Structure 1
């Protein structure tokens, strides 16, 4: 059976799959920025009594599978995560405030959220291994384009 969590007056299982992107979907979440984002996401979630079950920071978006207690709304949690991370990123990397980047806005406005029920294992695998699949598809696309350009040159 599923793993339920307890607080003083509630027993719950509230798991969410959340995805969000940097503004303009810039491919910026790599290297030191990626490490900072991963570390701080886990720290901020722990501070709000949320449990990060899976986390995948890719160059242009973040996937997170997280268990959130009923007293914390998803929108409040995302507001805290995106706000605190943006402030820290701009302090740690002041060049992000310059063109061609953002000014004072790091994250795109919206986000995707889905409750996780019986398909938790499938979503967990998807979040964990999505990056490998994307790279495989990217490599296949590059091979295809290379093959087309070779044929055109002949």
Structure 2
């Protein structure tokens, strides 16, 4: 068995930054993405976001490319949202692209806290401009 400790902070947005991820839909949506990550043998340390974007702190094994993980999660979660969480004709989609930042083990707790407290960071204006300005 190989030893690995790989941590990433990944950010991506809804198509055209539409505010589609309403608070009452978050728990089921996030649970789905965590379950899908588990099935891919990835570890979600934190998940959170706002109505128009999402942050994940995740460990992805070295046998999987980051792009493969993101493609899998974005594609399947979009399908799940459209078939399980909405009954409107306003279809959910993610924007192309994403931002990814590698973390050291000493940065993990700070990244997890940042992601878990997205709403208060946005309300208080204490967001990390490098993470939030990712043009995706």
Question: Do Structure 1 and Structure 2 share a fold, with TM-score over 0.5?
Answer: yes
Q: Match of 2:132?
A: none
1:135 aligns with 2:127: no
Q: Match of 1:142?
A: none
RMSD (Å), alpha carbons:
1.9
Moved over 3 A (4+): none
Structure 1 CA distance for aligned equivalents of residues 6 and 28 of structure 2: 26
In structure 2, runs of 5+ residues without a counterpart are: 127-136
Q: Match of 1:116?
A: 103
Higher relative contact order (CA 8 A, sep 6+): 2
Secondary structure of 1:107's aligned partner? coil
1:86 aligns with 2:74: no
Secondary structure of 1:133's aligned partner? helix
Deviation string for 1:29-80 (max 9, x for gaps)?
1144322220111100100111111111321111110111111111111111
Contact 1:16 1:65 in 2 (8 A): yes
Alignment TM-score, normalising by the size of structure 1: 0.73
Among 52, 61, 65, the residue aligned to 2:44: 52
Cα distance change on mapping 1:52 and 1:94 into 2, 3 Å: same
- Alpha-carbon offset, residue 94 of structure 1: 4.2
Cα distance change on mapping 1:130 and 1:35 into 2, 3 Å: closer
Number of residue pairs the alignment of both structures matches: 124
In structure 1, runs of 5+ residues without a counterpart are: 1-7, 139-154
Structure 2 CA distance for aligned equivalents of residues 68 and 25 of structure 1: 26
More helix by share: 1
Q: Which one has the largest radius of gyration?
A: 1
Contact 2:10 2:101 in 1 (8 A): yes
Secondary structure of 1:69's aligned partner? coil
